[in-house]
Structure formats: structure tokens, C-alpha cells
Amino acid sequence: MSHTSRQKDKLIARVRRIKGQLEGIERALGSEAACAEVLRQIASVRGAVNGLTTEVMEDHLREHVLMAETDKERHQGGEEMIAVIRAYMK
């Protein structure tokens, strides 16, 4: 069982909060809210997404690198994380 499956409810709740924040940005833009308010909301979403990303990355490292049962699994988990970090940093 994957670590994301074990924490599915917690992660889905975070995604739903982010979705609500994005809808708030859409409403703010639709109502022509002040740009400073829109920017604050965007910064909030960015922080929430970064927090979610950090949590899943940390869990991946713990599960698939630190607690890997074999060197092959550890290597694969590390390579997967490298690929994710490269994509994240683009």
C-alpha cells in the first residue's frame, strides 16, 4: 500500500482546501477585487500547494528511500525523487 493511500483522506482534504482557495481567486477576479487582495490569495494558494508538495515528497523519501527493503528499491525511490525535483524546479 502506498503512503498516499494511507493518508488519502488527509491529502484529499488539503486538495479540496486548495480548490476552494482557487475558487476564491476566481470570484475575486470576477468581482474585480483589488489586485493586492488577488495577489494575497494567489500567495496563499502557492503556499498551500508548496505545503502539499513538501508533505508528499517527504513521505516518498521516508517510505521509498529511508525505509526501502532493498538497495534496488532504495535506488528506484531516489531516482523517482530526483525526477520529481527536476520537474518541480522547472
With beta carbons less than 8 A apart as the criterion, state whether 34 and 42 touch. no
Is a pLDDT exceeding 80 seen at residue 1?
Answer: no
The confidence score (pLDDT) of residue 6 equals 77
pLDDT in tens, 7-59: 899 999 999 999 999 999 999 999 999 999 999 999 999 999 999 999 999 99
Arithmetic mean of pLDDT over the chain: 93
- Which ranges of 1-90 does DSSP label H, i.e. alpha helix? 3-6, 8-30, 35-61, 71-89
CA 54 to chain centre: 6
pTM over 0.75: yes
